[in-house]
Structure 1
Amino acid sequence: MPDWITVPVDPRLLRGALDVERTAHGIVPHRLPAWVRKQFPDPYLCRAEAQASGVRLVFRTRATAVDLDVLPTKTVFKGVPPSPEGLYDLCVDGRPAGATSVSGGNVLTVDLVTQSEHLHPGPPVTVRFAGLAPEEKDIAIWLPQTEAVELIALRTDAPVEAVPDRGRRVWLHHGSSISQGTTAGSPTTTWPALAAALGGVELVNLGLSGNALLDPFVARVVRDTPADLISVKIGINVVNADLMRLRAFTPAVHGFLDTVREGHPTTPLLVVSPVLCPVQEDTPGPLLPDFDGGTVRFRALGDPAESAGGKLTLRAVRDELARITAQRAAGDPNLYHLDGRSLYGEADAAELPLPDALHPDAAGHRRIGERFAGLVFAAGGPFAAGDG
Structure 2
Amino acid sequence: MEPLSTRPVVTELRLSAFAAHRGGAFPLGPVTLFAGPSGSGKSSVLRAYEALAALAAGAELAEVFPEPAGCVPEGARGDAQGRRGFRIGCTVSGPAGPVRLDLAVQAEPELRIVGERLTCGDRVLLSTALLDPGRDHVQAAWHTGGVAAVTRAPFPGDLLGTALLPLRVAGRTDGQRQVLAAAEQTVVALRSVFPCDPQPPRMRAPVRPGDGRLLPGCDNLAAVLHRTRHECARRHTRLTSMARAGCAGTVRGVGTEELADGLVRAVIHRSESDGVDCGASTPLGRLGDGELRFLAMALVLLTGPGVLSVDQAAEVPGALQSLTVVADGFDRCLDPGQAAGLAALAASICAEGHLRLVGAVSGDGAFARELEGVAVVDLCRDGTGRESTATTAGGVRRGP
Q: TM-score w.r.t. structure 1 length?
A: 0.28
Bigger relative contact order, structure 1 or 2 (CA pairs below 8 A, ≥6 apart): 2
TM-score by length of 2: 0.27
Higher Cα Rg: structure 1 or 2? 2
